[in-house]
Chains A and B, each alone.
Chain A
Amino acid sequence: AKTKDSVFKKLTRVVVGKSTVDDDVLDELEEVLISSDVGVDTTLKIIDRIQKRVADDKFLGASELNRILKEEIAGLLKESNKGDYEAFSIPKSDYPYVIMVVGVNGVGKTTTIGKLAYQFKKAGKKVTLGAADTFRAAAVDQLIIWSERVGVPIVDQGMGADPASVAFETLTQAKANGSDVVIIDTAGRLHNKINLMNELSKIKRVMDRVVPGAPHEILLVLDGSTGQNAFEQAKQFTLATEVNALAITKLDGTAKGGVVIGVSDQFKVPVKYIGIGEGMEDLQVFNRTEFVDSLFN
């Protein structure tokens, strides 16, 4: 929480006057990590790594400990993030580059799409949106408003339409109008609902028929305030759609989004974007160092 002492302050307090990292320090560290939703397994993994390094390096003061701590956490993220992404770029070879956005209910999929469209447009790309959430009340209207706000075309077939058909039509039109980027919105769904997850696989499959290889990016949106359930979300959405990128939203709040460290590590999926507000510009490319810093501030 924002009112809490920073981890470093706390850690410094427990480390002061000690020549080694003892149980007090590790307990304190455990509290900080778990309170950031890092989860027990990942926390133990981090503590384990630190203990190993401490054993190697023998003496450790507070500042060294801080540095090692950050390095170890960043290391976990690095293993699945090959390098931090360049700002809103797309691979040159794939046109149109198709992004399908998935996730459980209310995490911020539609809003993230609006923000992405804004960034891609700003970067000079031609963007088309597809309104394949035809289920949630006024979902199509919501995406239409975003498309107007950003000034990009949208393909919709109204509420109740078959989402796979909307995706098919969107890609067809995007190809015809020479779009660089297509972003497909999908209805929020809980990952334990088999029928809805199968529907998602179907929406995905249909796209390949219009643009071979599409969707190129399957972006799983995770709410930054979600706890350990994010693991199950990542697992099930990956099974249904081969998720290959993550976005974490609502990091402008007090939640730290620490669960993403373990999720990214376990599923070897990079975190690409973070949402930091409800406005069009409130999306950033994920920066590992900043993210790790924010856990401790």
Chain B
Amino acid sequence: MFENLNERLERSFQILKGQGKITEINVAETLKDVRRALLDADVNFNIAKSFTNTVKEKALGQNVLTALKPNQLMVKIVHDELAELMGSTQVDINLQGKPAVILIAGLQGSGKTTFSGKLANLLKTKRSKNPLLVACDVYRPAAIDQLKVLGEQIGVPVFADIDSKNPVKIAQDAIKQAKANGNDLVIVDTAGRLAIDEEMMKEIEAVKKAIEPSEILFVVDSMTGQDAVNTAKEFNDRLDFDGVVLTKLDGDTRGGAALSIRSIVNKPIKFVGTGEKMEALDVFHPSRMADRILGMGDIVSLVERA
């Protein structure tokens, strides 16, 4: 896929080459390829469309500076625009409150439980927090055991109530215990749920209401396709979350869902998951993500050769 894209871009850049000004005609082919790259990367159809339109507007009529060839200028415009959309500054998580409460939400299998462990580990080791993990997934087989195993690995206590089927009560009880035991941070893992599952969405709204988290994080699989926008929008409408966690970025997905989510809910991506181990957590780098979505590493080197 990458080779193809490169070839095509090289061809369309040839067309741009040697022309002093970017015009409707000489930009069309390049824009088509940019759009194609975005769609191949799973950027939402409509967002890819409006993105290429924006790029076109910015590009049209620009005089090519002496230092830059038209193709280089186009690449710069595309990259800058994408990086800006991804969020230009890093946003920290809110750890206010005694204890600070972080609620984790997302679809089935997106990586919530693993991320809960990773976040506890990070805040414990890097910010000297004393976290309590809370097992509010009362549905998935062995969900509680899974969180307990992770808690043990990182030396963080896990609050669970195997007899309870009531996540609201479990979360409330956990916060009580955290206060009593001096845990200054509570991370609440929840069951995976579909955005169209009304009952389950009501449940997580109720958990939010009961525990008033200082931070709600929406966890999403970076391999997600076009549906990312629907899901993110729905979760955001229900929970008004504070940030996004992008998981499984150690794979080879281009991760266009990140762009889609960013532009549809306008919430910052705060963390990325890069492996199954508890240490495999990174802060989000907007510019790197922009490069990845467009296969920009390749494109930039292409421009350098030009």
Contacts and interface: CB of A to CB of B under 8 A. Distances in A.
Looking at chain A's contact residues, the main secondary structure is loop
A63 interface: no
A34 B36 contact: no
B129 to A, nearest CB: 21
A128 interface: no
Residue of B110, B195, B227 contacting most chain A CB atoms (<10 Å)? B227
A253 B227 contact: yes
A108 B109 contact: yes
A227 B224 contact: yes
B248 interface: yes
A31 B35 CA distance: 13
B170 interface: no
B196 A253 contact: yes
Residue of A39, A107, A137, A278 contacting most chain B CB atoms (<10 Å)? A137
B230 A145 contact: no
A138 B142 contact: yes
A192 B274 CA distance: 13
B252 A192 contact: yes
B214 interface: no
Chain B residues touching A, range: 35 or more
Residue of B44, B109, B196, B248 contacting most chain A CB atoms (<10 Å)? B109
Contacts of B44: 35
Contact of A146 (B141, B194, B225, B248): B141
Interface string A273-297: 0000010000000000000000000
A190 B250 contact: yes
A89 interface: no
Contacts of A250: 107-109, 194
Nearest to A253: B194
Interface string B143-179: 1011111100100000000000000000000000000
B111 interface: yes
B45 A223 contact: no
A254 interface: yes
A40 interface: yes
Interface string B35-47: 0100111101100
A229 B40 CA distance: 9
Interface string A29-63: 00100111101100000000000000000000000
A35 B49 CA distance: 12
30 contacts: A1-B227, A2-B196, A34-B45, A34-B226, A37-B42, A106-B108, A106-B221, A106-B248, A136-B146, A137-B146, A142-B142, A142-B146, A145-B142, A146-B141, A190-B251, A191-B251, A225-B228, A226-B221, A227-B223, A227-B225, A227-B253, A227-B257, A228-B254, A229-B42, A229-B253, A250-B107, A250-B194, A253-B107, A256-B226, A278-B108
